[in-house]
Amino acid sequence: MAKSPRVIVAGGGPVGLYTAHALAKANIDYVLLEQQPEIVRYKGAGIVLLPQTARLCDQLGILKQMQEPATRLHSKTNSLYNGQQLVDFRLFEPMEEDHGYPTLGLSRSEMIEILYKTLPERETRVKTNARVIEIESNANGVRVYLADGSVEEGSLVIGVDGAHSRTRDIMDRLIRESTEGVANREPYPMVTYFKAIFGRAPVPKGVDIGRFYEAHGNGVASQTVPGKKYAYFSILRKLPTPTTARHRYSEKELEEEVKSFADLHLFPNITFGEIWKTVKRDEVSLVHLEEGIIDKWHHGRIVLLGDSVHKMTPISGMGVNTGMQSAAVLVNQLQNMISSGSEFTTEALNEAFESYQKIQEPVCRMTVMQGEMMTRMVTWNTWTAWLFDRFIVPWMDLEGQVKKQFSPIISNTFVLDYVPFEGKAGQVPWVNGPKVKV
């Protein structure tokens, strides 16, 4: 009798935890490995969940829990570095009208906490302090070696371990060592053009809760979302020279970066310098922002998801949203193998992985490209970007553009094929729904 499939998920961020939920719903055995000592921790950023992601949460039955700490976003204000307003328009309300689901702003830690606490059998399924150091893959399965000396065995590995993915590094090495390998294959195709400060502060008086604030400038941009208790901010700056090297910023470098942005208006009438007085220093980070998308998403019994495949700056807000879509598509392929009675052979898995990449790669490449364009426009990378952002965008029908550009993309997104639910709908019908009826 064939051995029951077991999936090893490397990475306990939002996309990794959603993948665990999807596997649990498919009754597929799995273990999730997180290299940090705890799953729920606060450091840094807020997350914007678009309607298609709210729909995925609704299918899992956890949308209500997500909405409790979250803020329903409605509009957006673009302004200049000095606070001068450029344009104000309804951005998120038209999406909700079209698709039936709100856009939610919450912290990354809140989202992780909800995904973790609602995960069935989490105490036995999730392992912390589990840093992957090596993966062996053969015709019968995989062995994942951890830094503590333990070994996890399974049928496949899903690498959801971020832009500096250890799983991807190992997979790239295995590709180079295989017959299909190329000696000069680029092992790390993502490039850093920007760095960013991420943090939160108590919501100041006089700001509009649920409004998305974005400030533009020469080589810099900021985004701030005021929620029920905290305002989550990110401030980008273009690097003097692009790099593929990793860099951990020191406290001194963070302090210098903060001082340089004292006059930046996070809100039209409030500067970052004023906000900084209320910030807890251990809740702020300065990091590199990698950008790019890899060409090979899988090899043998290893497959990649999320930031390990495609990485964007936060300007487009598509990182987690795109990653969760990819997770739904991938687990749909695995569940289809189970339901059809297919064994998890290397050949069958390769076919499933190829189908996953074929479905998601076009939309992911488009999303990465759009993110690159948006980031360079709001940071005025060229004089034409400055001209367009300053003097053309304010005169455009931005609400109409939202409906025209985003509605087709959102309506064509996926859910889990095998989990029945009614869901919500708006003026634009969803193209894809579950393949099983309620």
Catalytic residues: 223
Query: 177 — alpha (psi -120 to 50), left (phi > 0) or beta?
Result: alpha
**Residue linked to tokens 């879509």:** 325
Quick one: which of 409, 419, 418, 414 has its CA closest to 432? 414
Fill in the amino acid letter for 128.
T
Q: Are 308 and 160 in contact (CB under 8 A)?
A: yes
Q: Which helix (H) or strand (E) holds 132?
A: strand 132-138
Cα–Cα dist 313/368, whole Å? 9
- E strand or H helix that includes residue 282: none
Distance CA 308, CA 317 (A): 17
Three-state DSSP class for residue 133: strand
CA distances from 300 to 104, 135, 140, 171, 212 (A): 37, 11, 11, 9, 43
Tokens of 227: 């929620």
Residues facing 311 on adjacent strands: 292
Distance (Å, whole) CA 315 – CA 257:
19
Contact 110, 100 (CB under 8 A): no
Q: Are 13 and 162 in contact (CB under 8 A)?
A: yes
In angstroms, the Cα distances linking 179 to 4, 35, 70, 172, 234 are 29, 31, 49, 13, 44
CA 140 – CA 370 distance, rounded (Å)? 41
3-class secondary-structure state, position 248: coil
Other Cβ atoms closer than 10 A to 55: 24
195 three-state secondary structure:
strand
